[in-house]
Amino acid sequence: MNAAGTRIPWGVWFEPTQPVARLVALASLAESLGAEVCLVADEGTERDVYVALTAILAASDALVVGPAITNPFSRHPVTTAAAIATLAEMEPGRVWHGLGVGGSRVLAPLQLDPERPYSALVDTFVANRRLLSGRRAGPASLDWFHGDVPMAVAGRGPRVQRFAAAEADWVIFSAKALADLPEAAASVRSAGEARIAWSAYLAYSGTERRRALRHFAYMALDAPAEIRRQVGLDELRAARVRRAMLAGHLDEAAEHLPESLLDLYAVSGTPTECAARIAGLRDSFDLFVLPMNDEETCEAHVRASAAILDRAGDPTATG
């Protein structure tokens, strides 16, 4: 938990929609500005998550890297554990493992429709925890690996979040309404020793508001029904968003999204207001994770966001 007046630990979270060389350059920029963690999504049809993580790990000085998130379905859980162990063998102490149930963006193109995603997540977590701590999982073992890999779990459903709080080293909150964050954090802290990584879009200008809204399209696909109702995303509108998003047309998808999503789920306002909002929530997270999804103006966004986070760590600068 962060004390008042101290810097806010932060990292970046990439969807691998850009060439790996560019991801490496952006990760290096973020590290030079103070980022401590670099997460890469496992989206199946995008650049391979483990190739990207290997390149970022090799090119950075101290960044902790990890998949955020991978799932039990698009790769065999034992193969996933072996990939994580290989990264951790390269740079001990600089690798996380991140698991979740997976979403439509990764599962739909692979024609996967799991019947029991929560059970699969739990089974995969347990097996991977065993394998990465030198134990057997059924007939499988990683006899060559002797290390320690923190485990992170992400998910919006209550069962996943309860499991993560009790069993994981890190709970990743993404698409969490700002008003709900303190209560959710208190629940996590009361359940176990897990730390909290909070990922939220920073909408500090008109351009960034428009850019961020495009990426809330996934709520039409994977968010629980109560969240969709909360923001006025009825079934007809959600269906239109879903069709546009799965076709790769995020701008079209955003046209059907209520802008109220931003004010509920993003840190919005002027840069000073954004910093103040983050500072006001700092007891509710241990790491702030900046989502990075767009090919354009990434460098400027990383620099502007780093400045906001620096300001959030300095109460005299936030007013």
pLDDT in tens, 143-173: 999 999 999 999 888 899 999 999 999 999 9
| Residues 191 and 215 occupy one common structural domain | no
pLDDT digits (tens, 9 = 90+) for 221-259: 666 677 777 777 778 877 887 788 777 777 787 777 778
Residue 282 lies in a domain: yes
pLDDT digits (tens, 9 = 90+) for 97-118: 999 999 877 888 889 899 999 9
Q: How would you label 155-192 residue by residue, b for 16+ Cβ within 10 Å and e otherwise? A: bbeeebbebbbebbbbbbbbbbebeebeebbeebbebe
Q: What global pTM score does this model have?
A: 0.89
| Residues 110 and 233 occupy one common structural domain | no
| Residues 200 and 219 occupy one common structural domain | no
C-alpha closest to that of 253 among 269, 274, 239, 264: 239
Residue 102 lies in a domain: yes
pLDDT digits (tens, 9 = 90+) for 43-67: 989 999 999 999 999 999 999 999 9
pLDDT for the residue numbered 222: 66
| Residues 15 and 119 occupy one common structural domain | yes
Confidence of residue 1 (pLDDT cuts 50, 70, 90): very low
Residue 5 lies in a domain: no
Give CA–CA dist 207/181, Å, rounded.
Answer: 25
Q: What is the DSSP letter of 40?
A: E
Q: Number of structural domains, the chain?
A: 2
Confidence of residue 306 (pLDDT cuts 50, 70, 90): very high
| Residues 181 and 214 occupy one common structural domain | no
| Residues 84 and 165 occupy one common structural domain | yes
Residue 191 lies in a domain: yes
pLDDT beyond 70 at 319: no
Residues of the domain holding 106: 10-204+272-318
Two tokens at 118? Answer: 């929560």
| Residues 102 and 223 occupy one common structural domain | no
